[in-house]
A and B are shown apart, each in its own frame.
Chain A
Amino acid sequence: MNIYLFELKNQWKNTTGWIIIFSVLMFVLCMGVYPIFNNSLQDIVAVISKMPAEFTKAFSFDLNSMVDFGGYYEFIFAYFSLMGAVMASSISLSIFAREKKVKCTDFLLTKPISRQWIFTSKFLSGLTLIAIFNIIYMVLSCIFGIYFGKSLEEMILASSMMFLTQFFYYNLGILVAIFSKKIRSVSNTASVLGFIGFILSALYNILEIKGMRFLAPLKYFDPIQFFTTTSNEYMYMLTGIFLLILFLFVSYAKFNQEDVKAV
Chain B
Amino acid sequence: MVAIIETNKLTKYYGKSRGILDVDLTIQEGEIFGFIGPNGAGKSTTIRTLLSLIKKTSGDAKIFGLDCHDHRVEILDQIGYLPSEVFYYDNMKAIDLLKYSASFYKKDCTQKIEDLAQKLELDLNKKIEDMSLGNKKKVGIIQGLLHSPKLIILDEPTSGLDPLIQKKFFDIIQEENKNGATVLFSSHILSEVQKICDRVAIIKEGKIISTQKISDLKDHAYKRVNLVFTNQIVDIEIEGMSDVQVQGNSISFLYKGDCNLLLKKLVQYRLQNIEINEPTLEEIFLHYYI
Residues of A within 8 A of B (CB): 2, 6, 98, 102-104, 106-107, 109-114, 257, 259-263
Contacts and interface: CB of A to CB of B under 8 A. Distances in A.
B90 interface: yes
B81 A110 contact: yes
Given A107-B87, A261-B54, 10 more contacts: A2-B100, A6-B100, A104-B87, A109-B51, A112-B76, A113-B104, A114-B72, A259-B54, A259-B55, A262-B44
A6 B48 CA distance: 26
Q: Which of B85, B87, B143 has the most CB of A within 10 A?
A: B87
A103 B87 contact: yes
B108 interface: no
B89 interface: yes
Contacts of A106: 53, 81, 83
B79 interface: yes
Contacts of B286: none
Interface residues of B, number: 26
Nearest to A114: B73
User: Could you tell me the dominant secondary structure of chain A's interface residues?
Assistant: loop
A102 B73 contact: no
A256 to B, nearest CB: 11
A98 B89 CA distance: 8
B104 A107 contact: no
B110 interface: no
A259 B74 contact: no
B115 interface: no
A107 B90 CA distance: 13
Interface string B150-163: 00000000000000
Contacts of A262: 44, 48, 83
Contacts of A103: 85, 87
23 contacts: A2-B100, A102-B89, A104-B88, A104-B89, A106-B53, A106-B81, A107-B88, A109-B51, A109-B53, A110-B51, A110-B76, A110-B79, A110-B81, A112-B74, A112-B104, A112-B105, A114-B73, A260-B48, A260-B54, A262-B44, A262-B48, A262-B83, A263-B85
